[in-house]
Amino acid sequence: MSPAARALALLRRYGWNATGFQVLEPGYRYWFDGDDACVAYVDTGRAWVVAGAPIAPATRLAAVAAGFAAAASAAGRRTTWFGTERRFGDATGWPALQIGEQPVWSPAAWPAVLRGSRSLREQLRRARAKGVVARAVTAAELAAGHPTRAQLDRLIAAWQAARPLAPMAFLVQVDLCSFATERRCFVAERAGVVVGVLGVVPIYAREGWFFEDFLRAPDAPNGTVELLVDAGMRAAAAADIALVTLGLAPLAGDVGRWLRRARRLGGALYDFDGLRAFKAKFKPARWDPIFVAYPPPGNPVAAVHDTLAAFAGGGLVRFGLATLRRSPALIAGALAVTAVAVAGLLAPPVVAVAILVSTLAAALAWRPADHR
């Protein structure tokens, strides 16, 4: 059995984090602890950066995390745990930075959400009036060579070509087709042409779905994304799914005074409030905090730097140069943030942490969730 297949088997039993299924995408390494625990990570050269929490029984989280940290230390690496939730912090007692929050819905309550939101109903009406229809895609349609797959590949390529940042790694890859029988996919079509897509991955241990990827064509009518969310929510309710999340809203929620300032600073790079507002308009039942955690005696500055390196594919300088070739204007803004970060090193450490997290959040917010 391949490492990815072993990881999938454990995910089916213990996959609790929303980001769990994403560790099956290319680029991850797997550290196994016995036959009931796995940690998925990337090696940046200085750190092993973990996607979420260990895939393990709840009673084993602390022991597995400590064992992994010890293995990393023996290899000359520190560890950073990105995208953890409260359960991991409660189990380990490790320090952590809240970097945002993720909205959560009960799909069974979706009809009530629509009844209470005239604006959502109007967006659905607009899309339907323009001839947009949303439907579930079969696993066979995601196979190479199928006409639907070909349209999805073209949509993904066009979306990636239009992004100002160079392609990123870690938890922001666009992968709609691998492990097709495990995932769900919904497309929005107009006159037989795909104008939008919603990629859904399972959260096995919580009987949940993560609405991971939203992509839409530039000419997609208003309401296309709302129509996809509606189709996904209705399908989740029909499948007795307990919860749905749209994933991280960076720097949202109770992130503290310095990170609120960082959010304003990072607003020059990205509209964080707009991204949260996009998710909030679907009226979630609650918002769960998301953290970057690290074991003592680590520090938050190193943890954020390690996470940035993971998303950049290991080389921050190389990633910056690649982005410069794609979007000089964006790099100019990033350099301004970096200059402030350098100045922040002369200030209390929390200031530098806030600026680094702001830069990270700006990068994360460029994942494929079109909230226009």
Residue type at 354 in one-letter notation:
A
Quick check: 244 and 226 in contact, CB under 8 A?
A: no
The string of pLDDT tens digits covering residues 109-138 is: 999 999 999 999 999 999 999 999 999 999
Average pLDDT over residues 73-98: 96
At 275, is the pLDDT very low, low, confident or very high (cuts 50, 70, 90)? confident
Confidence (pTM): 0.86
Percent of the chain having pLDDT more than 90? 61
Beta pairing class for 243-245 and 208-216: parallel
pLDDT reading at 268 higher than 70: no
Res. 345: pLDDT tops 50: no
pLDDT at 346: 37
54 or 314, which is more confident? 54
Pairing status of strand 29-32 against strand 286-293: unpaired
The tokens 């929050």 sit on which residue? 101
pLDDT of residue 110: 98
pLDDT of 36 strictly over 70: yes
Range name among 84-88, 241-245, 337-341 with the lowest pLDDT average = 337-341
Q: Is the pLDDT of residue 225 over 60?
A: yes
Q: Is the per-residue pLDDT at 270 higher than 70?
A: no
pLDDT band at 343 (very low <50, low <70, confident <90, very high): very low
Confidence at residue 341, expressed as pLDDT on a 0 to 100 scale? 41
Can you give the pLDDT at residue 310?
85
Contact 291, 87 (CB under 8 A): no
Judge whether residue 54 has pLDDT over 70.
yes
Average pLDDT in the chain: 84
Strands 78-84, 47-51: pairing is parallel
Is the model's pLDDT at 256 over the cut of 80? no
pLDDT value at residue 1: 83
Instruction: Say what percent of the chain tops pLDDT 70.
Output: 78
Answer whether 326's CB lies under 8 Å from 166's CB. Answer: yes
User: pLDDT at position 163, please?
Assistant: 64
* 126 to 130, 159, 182, 218, 309: CA distances (angstroms): 6, 23, 32, 16, 42
Name which of 59, 45, 49, 98 is nearest 317 in CA terms. Answer: 45
CATH code: domain 104-245 is 3.40.630.30
